[in-house]
Amino acid sequence: MGILIGRTALVTGGSEGLGLAIADAFAQAGADLVLLARDPAKLAAAAEELRRHGTAVSTIATDLADPDAVAGLPADLRADILVNNAGVTHLKSLAETTDADFDEMVRVNLGVPFRLTRRLLPGLAGGSVVNISSYWGTKMVADRPASVYSATRGALDAFTKALASELGPAGVRVNAIVPGSVRTPAFERRFLGPMTDDQRTDYEEYVRRAYPMGRIGRPADVAAAALYLASPENSWVTGTILTVDGGFTVR
């Protein structure tokens, strides 16, 4: 397609899952890439895979949960497109949520998008920010308490709209994607993997009932939405909270 030729996209959490799928879609559209993630080995493997599209890929191994991570990034870091994908999830009751849990979720889910957007702002004119949020910001799930996580996602949605208003005159578009459950490697490891066969069968039946489209998402579903929002062809789209969830939140 080539719609992102000449642009550089920075993707946090870009070594696997949604971040890697988004990076792949952007690479196929011609963008050069900067990937941020914790694991150097995963970053190296992701970069090798993405370079097959003929794009330039650089990587930065950093733990964005570290309060000093953004301040420690290279001084010459620049991007036309910023994808704030990295996030931390602690689905706990209020009584079980520790101060450390709270601080980490606020720091990564809201603080990193704030700090990275501010850091990259001089190079974002004519470009865009895409924040990856969650349906937990507006829809609660019975028996799965997540008050602080939900608060950070709701705050990210509000931050997206406020920045779209503030930065629009400077030519910076700011949008967010609200995915439903997506079958990423992390989702497999943390949620599906520990299930027994009977639990997996019950979950698959739940998905058929809860999702009008009858399935959970694939990383490519979210990547396609991110490409749409990042594309300069959609230069009048800003302040949008785009739900990509197979209809889950309409039920």
State how far the alpha carbon of 21 is from the alpha carbons of 11, 27, 84, 110, in Å: 10, 10, 14, 22
Residue type, 184: T
Alpha-carbon distance of 31 to 184, in angstroms, equals 23
Asked whether the beta carbons of 177 and 208 are under 8 A apart, the reply is: no
Question: How many CB atoms neighbour CB 108 within 10 A?
Answer: 23
**Rg of the chain over CA atoms, in angstroms?**
18
Residue 219, Cβ density class (10 Å: 0-12 exposed, 13-18 middle, ≥19 buried): buried
Residue 128, Cβ density class (10 Å: 0-12 exposed, 13-18 middle, ≥19 buried): buried
Alpha-carbon distance of 60 to 129, in angstroms, equals 19
Asked whether the beta carbons of 85 and 132 are under 8 A apart, the reply is: yes
User: Given the structure tokens 């036309």, which residue do they identify?
Assistant: 80
Question: How many CB atoms neighbour CB 74 within 10 A?
Answer: 9
Is 206 labeled as catalytic in the residue annotation?
no
| Backbone φ, ψ for residue 103 (5° rounding) | -60, -40
Catalytic: which of 135, 149, 211, 228? 149
Known catalytic residues? 149
